[in-house]
Amino acid sequence: MYTRIYKHVHRSARVCFCDVPINIREWRCATLANIKSAKKRILVNRTKAARNKSIRSAVKTSIKKVEAAVQKNDKAAAQAALTDAIATISKATSKGVYHKNNCARKVSRLTKAVNSIG
């Protein structure tokens, strides 16, 4: 039923999740770990990775909206998209997805692009 669960096997507790089901009852078939705490870490890491991926995706989408408005030379739409993007990036930073300097760099570049519209 589940093929290609492991692309490769190492001696660590790391797992390759290529065709692994999300069902929590079936998590044992996807882990190499034998220790209970290591199995729990794998589950927690999977959950956190999914959350971080969602937040990063939202940030990328908001950045693309600003860049699209800048390409169209639409100052009002760019300003509105910029405020939304800044809020999204700041939330991602407060959740620990991005470093504060990375956040500042992204906001700075977007603000500079919007201000260049004229």
pLDDT score, position 31: 65
pLDDT tens sequence across 43-90: 999 999 999 999 999 999 999 999 999 999 999 999 999 999 999 999
Q: Is the pTM of this model over 0.85?
A: no
Residue 89 within any structural domain of the chain: yes
Task: Tell me what pLDDT residue 1 has.
Answer: 47
Q: Which domain holds residue 104?
A: 52-115
Between these two residues, 26 and 96, which has the higher pLDDT value? 96
Total domain count, the chain: 1
- Please report the pLDDT score of residue 83 as a whole number: 97
Q: What is the DSSP code string of 71-104? A: HTT-HHHHHHHHHHHHHHHHHHHHTTSS-HHHHH
- CATH number reported for the structural domain that contains residue 68 in this entry: 1.20.58.110
Backbone angles phi, psi at 26, to 5 degrees: -100, 20
Q: Is residue 99 part of a domain?
A: yes
The pLDDT of residue 80: 97
Whether residue 63 is contained in a domain is answered as yes
pLDDT tens, position by position, 9-55: 444 455 444 455 555 555 555 568 899 999 999 999 999 999 999 99
Position 100 in a domain: yes
Tell me, yes or no, whether 20 lies in a domain: no
42 in a structural domain: no
Residue 57 in any domain: the answer is yes
Q: Is 61 part of a structural domain of the chain?
A: yes
Q: Give CA–CA dist 67/117, Å, rounded.
A: 11
